[in-house]
């Protein structure tokens, strides 16, 4: 009897502790303590024992029965805590619910990235009006009187304000540079500011040409400022925006409002300078004109060009954003097409 | 502009081992943008000289022949050809299998293969000049003629590029990169830059001294517009083909050779950048004159058309009237004809602005006008004259100059610039030796004297027409030739004392980020003009709208005077793809009123503001919910963006809004914007089909940013607060604003009422007619103890009783 009982415990205890779930445990409980359970059957066998052995045997069996019951309860508690609230066939691969969110225009995103970078260098952010006069758009900028940009073919003039003196002629500003003079006139040197804004040209549009595009101008004016300092600035800013070292080169270029003037090229990020379709096999992409403000521009701002000099760049954001994402049609930026804009959240 | 490197070599000896890629790169970095450098010979890869050994009939075709052709290396191949001028012994151009040619000179290039033509196998093709792009150089004799190379010294198998001496590199220069450099519009100018870059000598163009006594009657009627006119009359000329070398040079740079008399003028222009013109002397009656056109004067063109001239046009005339538009184009009378014998050569200087006005007036641009437009200097006439006359003399040794006049009323003044070397060094951040400066500037033609700190520079005439006028220009010359990229970068030294604090910029950004990231709206850009259709539908009036003189299209003339029309256009565009979305834009708007001066009192800018506008659009039957969504965005905006709060009123309905669903938005007593449901009529007028749209617009400049964050802190409640919802019946026209105001009033005396909020409202069958049920959540609590449920209910009942008295509330009966 005793041996049978011990054998039963030796076998039963590991089974209880090894039960993997509630159902299995219930089955084990049945097989031990149920009506046909092995412990119950042992109880029944007790009647066959001599009367004097029965009390001791009864005690032993009850003890074993209690021990098993306790073990089963303990195991049940343990299984309960371990168990998941969800059935095991839970599909973890179903996509999560996205947070509701809109987005900023990809050009504004780039603009803000640049603003953050320039502000960290102590630049102020300037803003002026989309409508400007010929005076600020051209005259102050040293554009000769016969410059083609002054013609209606290239600039949007405002009806009823398209004749007369330069300050009476109003247009949608064709570039930002003229408005920079506004800043110079209304602030005290030294200057360090950026000027983001949209500009407008009367052009035929195609995948590479737009009538409205976003420029980003940065200007430093100070005494005895070497223009190569600007190179450091541009490199710093572009590397910050693109998140990696960006190689640039400066080559000769002409713009009426700078002297010297240069084109700043950036190594093509698509091919790493090896040449590809994006950079037309050149390895470099023209990203911005730059230069030292022309003495006449400084004079227009009331500064003595012998005393002051500076550094200027004008970044075309549309092109920079196109390069950032590989966008191949500039017109998408003004399309208000959500299928396009949603990609940049 | 196309530049032939061989031509350049006439003026500057390039080393044989010159790395062409580097040359293109160096020019790009220092002077002009070289877009392409093409090995000309590569264009003719696979095309070789063949010598026809036998011409046999084609068994299956009358018009075709089978030519046994020597293609070099001892190979004789059968080539089927339909050429009408095939002869034994003739040298021809053979396109070998694998070469691309333009079949019959038309369409896209096709690959030549070994193939059967009407049953006979042909190894390649004997080409006509049109088939290999040489028609301008070797014009087609007749319709079916193939290119005859007998005139060239060559052998079978020679690449055709070698046979025709086409070993050259053609640089393609971006014209935009040299609009400020009239001196670069010819090979000589480019050669001068190269000579400067590599310290090579620049060849001089020999002077031509006309040995003649008689003058030619040259009259200059307007010395401002025609600053110089050299007229030269030559006899003993005749029309003939110019030498192959001259023709091929013109052809390489994109000019069509015509005849020697004309080719010289084009050649000189391509070499010096100075246009010249040859007139048949028989056509010029008595004198040649450059004067302004008179009233009602006309110019007969080659086409037979008559051009009505403007009194602003400078014309070339003789006694009988205009023969050409000076510097732009000739008329019918000034052409060189096959029988031309005596020629008058014009080498003149015309003022750039006048030329530009004339080209625009008649919408013609020629090689000559595009050069004059860049402001050519009058001194360059000498260079062109010397070169042209030398060439005529070479081509027509028997030629005689019979008359010559140089009318140059006001020789240009020489510009002198003084530059401090110390200043130069400080600005460039780098020291240059005196020798370096002197060497480079002299090579570019500047006269240089250095005396202590002073660099005195005499500007050559070809750089003095606006290009170089002050010391910054001299700095640029030195820096660009040295290479901007080679100048050592130095650090920025400017320092600023104060931190940048720009509340306006920050507010604009916060609002946009709020709309985008908290309110699920997408920022869009639209143009600064509006379409007539949406202006009519949304604004209903064009009053105060500015117009563009030359709009992008006739129906897009109005300048953005409100942000909403374009927002509605954007809704229309997106309706095809989305049934629910939110969009916004920030842009400046302008109106034809209240002109103000901000920067210069002479400049008056029309009324403008920065507007932030947007829309929530959805296909929905519940526009109230859509309106509440938009209203929530506006209501919460001040809190999240830290500015003065909004209040809503209903004073003036916006034109575009539904009659019932709209609000005016105020900051204090100032109207700052509107919101509302787009009225059905306006919506249809815009072309919106199924979407309902709630629009808003805010005048950004009227918003008042706080200087810092404005959240406030309240102690956490010590004792529990309890939510208690009550549902009451009100008259349908009782507004929540009224109900809420009464509860707040009550809360002033009953301190246990902490807050109250709108939960929802119900209108319909479950409530009596004329009534609505409003559910209100009261938050009830005490600062000193935990309230019992009886106490809470008692407070709620006081609110109910209050609303019964003040707002006509009724308990809902069961």
Q: Which residues of A are less than 8 Å from B472 in CB distance?
A: 259-260, 292, 294-295, 305
Domain-embedded: residue A157: yes
- For B226-244, what is each residue's pLDDT tens digit? 999 999 999 999 999 999 9
In the structure encoding, which two tokens stand for residue B272, read together?
Answer: 């010096």
In whole angstroms, give the CA distance from residue B27 to residue B20.
Answer: 11
Whether residue A125 is predicted with pLDDT greater than 90 in this model: the reply is yes
Q: Residue B791: its pLDDT value, please? A: 95
Residues A16 and A135 in one domain: no
As a whole number of Å, the end-to-end CA separation of chain A is: 77
In whole angstroms, give the CA distance from residue A294 to residue B234.
Answer: 48
Residues A174 and A315 in one domain: yes
Cβ separation of A108 and B485 shorter than 8 Å?
no
Q: Is B575 within 8 Å of chain A by CB?
A: no
SS3 content of chain B, % helix, strand, coil (to 5): 30, 30, 40
Residues A69 and A130 in one domain: no
- Radius of gyration, alpha carbons of chain A: 41
Domain-embedded: residue A223: yes
Q: Which residues contact B794 (CB under 8 A, 6 or more apart)?
A: none
Whether residue B492 is predicted with pLDDT greater than 70 in this model: the reply is no
Q: Is B527 within 8 Å of chain A by CB?
A: yes
Structural domain total, chain A: 2
Using the 3D structure, point to which of A43, A66, A82 is the last residue of a domain: A82
CATH label of the domain that carries residue A225: 3.30.930.10
Cβ separation of A252 and B577 shorter than 8 Å?
no
**Residues facing residue B773 across a β-bridge:** B729, B762
Domain-embedded: residue A88: no
Residues A292 and A215 in one domain: yes
DSSP states of B344-377: EEEEEEE-HHHHHHHHHHHT---HHHHHHTT---
H-helix or E-strand spanning residue B699: strand B692-699
Residues A274 and A215 in one domain: yes
Q: Is B314 within 8 Å of B352 (Cβ atoms)?
A: no
Q: Residue A147: its pLDDT value, please? A: 67
In the structure encoding, which two tokens stand for residue B544, read together?
Answer: 């105060």
Query: A50 or B807: which carries more pLDDT confidence?
Result: B807
Q: Residue B654: its pLDDT value, please? A: 96
Q: Residue B163: its pLDDT value, please? A: 92
Q: Is A253 within 8 Å of chain B by CB?
A: yes
- The C-alpha torsion from B334 through B338 and B344 to B346, rounded to 10°, is 60
- For B621-636, what is each residue's pLDDT tens digit? 999 999 999 999 999 9
Select from A153, A167, A229 the Cβ nearest to the Cβ of B492.
Answer: A229
Q: Is B418 within 8 Å of chain A by CB?
A: no
What integer is the mean pLDDT of A11-30? 88
Q: Residue B496: its pLDDT value, please? A: 56
Q: Residue B145: its pLDDT value, please? A: 87
Domain-embedded: residue A255: yes
Query: Exposed, middle or buried, A271 (CB in 10 Å: 0-12/13-18/19+)?
Result: middle
Residues A236 and A315 in one domain: yes
Residues A67 and A159 in one domain: no
Among the residue ranges A204-213, A225-234, B452-461, the one predicted with the least confidence is A225-234
The tokens 């102020």 sit on which residue?
A124
Residues A53 and A126 in one domain: no
What integer is the mean pLDDT of B20-45? 90
Residues A143 and A30 in one domain: no
Domain-embedded: residue A95: no
Cβ separation of A182 and B360 shorter than 8 Å?
no
Residues A196 and A309 in one domain: yes
Using the 3D structure, point to which of A66, A82, A98 is the last residue of a domain: A82
Domain-embedded: residue A307: yes
The tokens 């602003």 sit on which residue?
B312
DSSP states of B399-416: -EEEEEEEE-SSPPPPPE
Whether residue A227 is predicted with pLDDT greater than 80 in this model: the reply is no
Q: Is A146 within 8 Å of chain B by CB?
A: yes
* DSSP letter assigned to residue A103: B
pTM score above 0.80: no
Query: Confidence class of residue B494 from pLDDT cuts 50, 70 and 90?
Result: low
Sequence-ordered alpha helix ranges (H) in B396-502 = 421-428, 434-443, 471-482
Cβ separation of B600 and A185 shorter than 8 Å?
yes
Helix B260-272 / helix B380-395 crossing angle, nearest 10 deg: 150
Select from B466, B475, B487 the Cβ nearest to the Cβ of A228.
Answer: B487
Residues A220 and A135 in one domain: yes
Mutation choice for B interface testing from A121, A222, A251, A339 by most B CBs within 10 A? A251
**Residues facing residue B103 across a β-bridge:** none
- For A279-318, what is each residue's pLDDT tens digit? 777 888 888 888 888 888 888 888 998 889 888 899 889 9
Q: Is B650 within 8 Å of chain A by CB?
A: no
Using a pLDDT cut of 70, give the percent of chain B over it.
Answer: 98
Q: Which residues of B are less than 8 Å from A294 in CB distance?
A: 472
Query: Confidence class of residue A57 from pLDDT cuts 50, 70 and 90?
Result: confident
Domain-embedded: residue A305: yes
As a whole number of Å, the end-to-end CA separation of chain B is: 93
Q: Is A232 within 8 Å of chain B by CB?
A: yes
Q: Residue B343: its pLDDT value, please? A: 94
Q: Which residues of A are less than 8 Å from B599 in CB distance?
A: 136, 182, 185-186
What integer is the mean pLDDT of B484-511? 78
H-helix or E-strand spanning residue B172: strand B169-173
Q: Which residues contact A151 (CB under 8 A, 6 or more apart)?
A: B360
Q: Is the dihedral of CA A238, A242, A248, A250 positive or negative?
A: negative
Q: Which residues of A are less than 8 Å from B573 in CB distance?
A: 335-337
**Residues facing residue B775 across a β-bridge:** B727, B760
In whole angstroms, give the CA distance from residue B462 to residue B297.
Answer: 34
Residue B130 CA to chain centroid, in angstroms?
Answer: 35
The tokens 């400007």 sit on which residue?
A132
Which domains does chain B show, CATH number per domain?
A: 2-41+168-198 (3.30.56.10), 46-158 (2.40.50.140), 218-407 (3.50.40.10), 416-486 (3.30.56.10), 503-702 (3.30.930.10), 721-811 (3.30.70.380)
Min Cα distance B596 → chain A (Å) is: 12
Q: Which residues of A are less than 8 Å from B426 in CB distance?
A: 224, 226
Min Cα distance A21 → chain B (Å) is: 42
In whole angstroms, give the CA distance from residue B567 to residue B789.
Answer: 53
Domain of residue A199, residue span: 106-344
What integer is the mean pLDDT of B356-372? 92
Q: Which residues of A are less than 8 Å from B180 in CB distance?
A: 254, 256
- For B517-561, what is each residue's pLDDT tens digit? 999 999 999 999 999 999 999 999 999 999 999 899 999 999 999
- For B384-431, what is each residue's pLDDT tens digit? 999 999 999 999 999 999 999 999 998 888 899 999 999 898 888 888
Q: Where are the beta strands (DSSP E) in B408-554?
A: 416-420, 447-451, 454-458, 522-523, 529-530
ipTM of the complex: 0.83
Q: Residue A285: its pLDDT value, please? A: 84
Cβ separation of A260 and B515 shorter than 8 Å?
no
Distance set, CA A244 to CA A230, A318, B101, B367, B516 (Å): 19, 20, 47, 46, 28
Cβ separation of B559 and A151 shorter than 8 Å?
no
Q: Residue A45: its pLDDT value, please? A: 82
In whole angstroms, give the CA distance from residue B477 to residue A261.
Answer: 10
- For B681-711, what is each residue's pLDDT tens digit? 999 999 999 999 999 999 999 999 998 887 7
What integer is the mean pLDDT of A136-158? 77
Mutation choice for A interface testing from B184, B522, B574 by most A CBs within 10 A? B522
Using a pLDDT cut of 90, give the percent of chain A over it.
Answer: 23
- Per residue, the 3-state secondary structure of B198-264, as one string, reads HCCCECCCCCCCCCCCCCCCEEECCCCCEEEEEEEEEECCCCCCCCHHHHHHHHHCCCCCCCHHHHH
Q: Is A113 within 8 Å of chain B by CB?
A: no
CB atoms within 10 A of CB B61: 15
Cβ separation of A260 and B548 shorter than 8 Å?
no
Q: Residue B79: its pLDDT value, please? A: 93
Average pLDDT of every residue of chain A = 86
Among the residue ranges B93-107, B215-229, B271-285, the one predicted with the least confidence is B93-107
Q: Is A251 within 8 Å of B30 (Cβ atoms)?
A: yes
Mutation choice for A interface testing from B185, B484, B592, B633 by most A CBs within 10 A? B484
Average pLDDT of every residue of chain B = 92
Residues A149 and A75 in one domain: no
Query: Confidence class of residue B493 from pLDDT cuts 50, 70 and 90?
Result: low
Q: Residue A64: its pLDDT value, please? A: 85
């Amino acid at each position: 009897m005793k041996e049978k009982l011990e054998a039963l415990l030796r076998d039963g205890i590991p089974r209880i502790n090894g039960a993997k779930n509630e159902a299995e445990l219930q089955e084990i409980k049945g097989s031990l303590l149920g009506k046909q359970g092995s412990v119950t059957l042992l109880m029944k066998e007790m009647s066959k024992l001599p009367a004097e052995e029965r009390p001791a045997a009864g005690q032993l069996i009850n003890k074993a029965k209690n021990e098993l019951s306790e073990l089963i309860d303990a195991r049940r508690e343990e299984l309960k805590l371990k168990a998941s609230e969800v059935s095991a066939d839970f599909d973890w691969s179903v996509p999560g619910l996205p947070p509701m969110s809109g987005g900023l225009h990809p050009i504004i995103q780039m603009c803000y990235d640049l603003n953050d970078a320039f502000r960290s260098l102590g630049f102020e952010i300037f803003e002026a009006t989309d409508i400007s006069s010929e005076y600020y758009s051209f005259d102050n900028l040293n554009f000769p009187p016969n410059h083609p940009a002054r013609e209606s073919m290239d600039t949007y003039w405002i009806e009823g304000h398209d004749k007369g003196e330069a300050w009476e002629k109003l247009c949608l500003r064709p570039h930002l540079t003229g408005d920079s003079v506004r800043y110079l006139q209304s602030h005290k040197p030294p200057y360090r500011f950026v000027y983001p804004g949209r500009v407008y040209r009367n052009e035929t549009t195609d995948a590479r040409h737009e009538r409205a595009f976003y420029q980003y101008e940065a200007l430093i004016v100070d005494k005895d400022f070497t223009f190569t300092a600007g190179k450091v600035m541009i490199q710093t800013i572009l590397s910050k925006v693109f998140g990696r070292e960006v190689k640039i080169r400066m080559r000769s270029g002409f713009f009426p409002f700078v002297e010297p003037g240069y084109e700043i090229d950036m190594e093509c990020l698509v091919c790493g300078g090896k040449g590809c379709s994006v950079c037309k096999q050149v390895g470099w992409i023209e990203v911005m004109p730059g230069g030292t403000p022309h003495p006449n521009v400084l004079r227009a701002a009331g500064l003595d060009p012998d005393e002051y000099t500076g550094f200027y760049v004008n970044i075309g954001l549309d092109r920079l954003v196109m390069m950032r994402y590989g966008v191949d049609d500039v017109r998408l930026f003004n399309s208000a097409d959500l299928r396009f804009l949603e990609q940049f959240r | 502009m196309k530049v032939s490197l061989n031509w350049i070599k006439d003026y500057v000896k390039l080393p044989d081992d010159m790395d062409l890629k580097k040359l293109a790169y160096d020019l790009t970095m220092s002077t002009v943008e070289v877009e392409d450098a093409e090995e000309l010979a590569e264009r003719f890869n696979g095309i070789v000289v063949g010598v026809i050994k036998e011409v046999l009939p084609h068994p299956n075709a009358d018009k075709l022949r089978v030519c046994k052709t020597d293609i070099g290396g001892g190979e004789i191949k059968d080539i089927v050809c339909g050429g009408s001028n095939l002869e034994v012994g003739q040298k021809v151009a053979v396109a070998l299998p694998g070469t691309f040619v333009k079949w019959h000179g038309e369409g896209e290039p096709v690959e030549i293969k070994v193939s059967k033509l009407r049953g006979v196998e042909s190894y390649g093709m004997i080409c006509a000049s049109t088939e290999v792009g040489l028609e301008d150089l070797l014009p087609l004799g007749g319709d079916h003629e193939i290119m005859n190379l007998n005139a060239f010294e060559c052998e079978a198998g020679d690449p055709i590029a070698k046979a025709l001496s086409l070993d050259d590199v053609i640089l393609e220069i971006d014209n935009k990169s040299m609009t400020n450099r009239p001196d670069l519009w010819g090979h000589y100018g480019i050669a001068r830059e190269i000579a400067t870059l590599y310290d090579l000598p620049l060849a001089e163009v020999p002077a031509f001294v006309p040995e003649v006594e008689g003058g030619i009657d040259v009259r200059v009627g307007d010395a401002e517009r025609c600053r110089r006119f050299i007229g030269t009359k030559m006899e003993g000329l005749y029309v003939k083909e110019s030498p192959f070398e001259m023709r091929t040079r013109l052809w390489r740079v994109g000019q069509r050779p015509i005849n020697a008399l004309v080719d010289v003028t084009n050649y000189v222009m391509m070499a010096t950048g100075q246009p010249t013109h040859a007139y048949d002397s028989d056509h010029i009656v008595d004198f040649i004159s450059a004067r302004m056109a008179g009233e009602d004067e006309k110019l007969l063109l080659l086409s037979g058309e008559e051009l009505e001239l403007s009194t602003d046009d400078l014309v070339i005339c003789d006694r009988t009237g205009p023969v050409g538009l000076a510097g732009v184009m000739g008329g019918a009378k000034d052409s060189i004809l096959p029988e031309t014998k005596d020629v008058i050569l014009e080498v003149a200087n015309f003022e750039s602005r006048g030329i530009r006005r004339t080209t625009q007036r008649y919408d013609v641009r020629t090689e000559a006008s595009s050069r004059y437009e860049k402001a050519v200097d009058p001194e360059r006439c000498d260079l062109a004259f010397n070169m042209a006359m030398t060439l005529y003399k070479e081509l027509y040794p028997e030629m005689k100059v019979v008359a010559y006049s140089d009318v140059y009323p006001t020789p240009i003044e020489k510009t002198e610039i003084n530059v401090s070397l110390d200043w130069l060094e400080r600005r460039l951040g780098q020291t240059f030796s005196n020798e370096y400066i002197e060497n480079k500037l002299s090579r570019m033609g500047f006269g240089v004297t250095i005396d202590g700190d002073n660099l005195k520079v005499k500007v050559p005439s070809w750089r003095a027409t606006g290009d170089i006028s002050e010391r910054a220009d001299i700095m640029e010359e030195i820096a660009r030739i040295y290479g901007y990229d080679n100048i050592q970068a130095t650090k920025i030294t400017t320092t600023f004392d104060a931190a940048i604090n720009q509340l306006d910029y920050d507010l604009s950004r916060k609002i946009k980020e709020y709309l985008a990231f908290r309110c699920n709206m997408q920022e869009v850009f639209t143009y600064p003009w509006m379409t007539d259709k949406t202006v009519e539908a949304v604004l209903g009036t064009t009053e105060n709208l500015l117009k563009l003189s030359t709009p992008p299209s006739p129906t897009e003339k109005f300048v953005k005077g409100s942000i909403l029309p374009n927002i509605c256009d954007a809704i229309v565009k997106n309706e095809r793809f989305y049934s629910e979305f939110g969009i916004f834009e920030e842009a400046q708007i302008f109106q034809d009123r209240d002109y103000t001066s901000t920067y210069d009192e002479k400049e008056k800018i029309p009324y403008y503001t920065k507007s932030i506008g947007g829309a929530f659009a959805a296909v929905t039957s519940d526009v109230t919910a859509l309106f509440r969504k938009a209203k929530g965005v506006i209501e919460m905006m001040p809190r999240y963006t830290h500015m003065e709060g909004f209040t809503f009123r209903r004073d003036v309905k916006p034109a575009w809004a539904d009659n019932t669903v709209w609000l005016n938005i105020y900051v204090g007593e100032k109207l700052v914007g509107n919101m509302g449901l787009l009225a059905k009529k306006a919506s249809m007028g815009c072309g919106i089909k199924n979407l309902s749209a709630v629009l808003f617009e805010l005048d950004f400049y009227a918003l008042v940013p706080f200087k810092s964050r404005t959240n406030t802190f309240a102690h956490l409640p010590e004792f529990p607060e309890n939510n208690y919802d009550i549902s009451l019946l009100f008259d349908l026209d009782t507004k929540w604003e009224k109900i809420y105001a009464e509860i707040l009033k009550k809360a002033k005396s009953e301190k246990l009422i902490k807050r109250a909020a709108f939960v929802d409202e119900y209108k319909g069958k479950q409530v009596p007619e004329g009534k609505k049920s409003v559910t209100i959540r009261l938050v009830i609590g005490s600062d000193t103890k935990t309230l019992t449920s009886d106490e809470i209910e008692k407070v709620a009942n006081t609110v109910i009783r209050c609303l019964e008295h003040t707002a006509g509330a009724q308990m809902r009966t069961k």
